[in-house]
Amino acid sequence: MSTPLASALSPQSPAAGASDAAAIAPRILSRPRFAVLVFAGVYPLVTALLYLVAPLTRGWTFWQQTLVIVPVVVVTMVWGLIPFLHRRFSAFLHPVRKPSAG
């Protein structure tokens, strides 16, 4: 039995007019590619937040400054950056794996 949720979460997406082998080729998240994209998004976010927070927290210890910055980074990543990356770069993040011969 196929449910809408199961089909939405399925890593396989057969293309119209594709050969049978290509239609069943799994699409698996490329962790190295995902790591590069997350780095490219998080680095400017953290840098900008440090520049914004530093004047407001002058005299605070480092752990206190990061205590202010980390929740903003986490919320931005979970509800903004990572969903955006998955939508925008889906084909790049989930390349079609060619079935091995044999």
Q: pLDDT tens, 25-65? A: 677 888 999 999 999 999 999 999 999 999 999 999 999 99
Q: Does the pLDDT of residue 16 top 60, yes or no? A: no
Q: Which two tokens stand for residue 75?
A: 């919320």
The pLDDT, as a whole number, for residue 96 is 81
- Report the helix count and the strand count for the chain, using DSSP H and E: 6, 0
Q: What 3-state class would DSSP assign to 26? A: coil
pTM score, whole prediction: 0.65
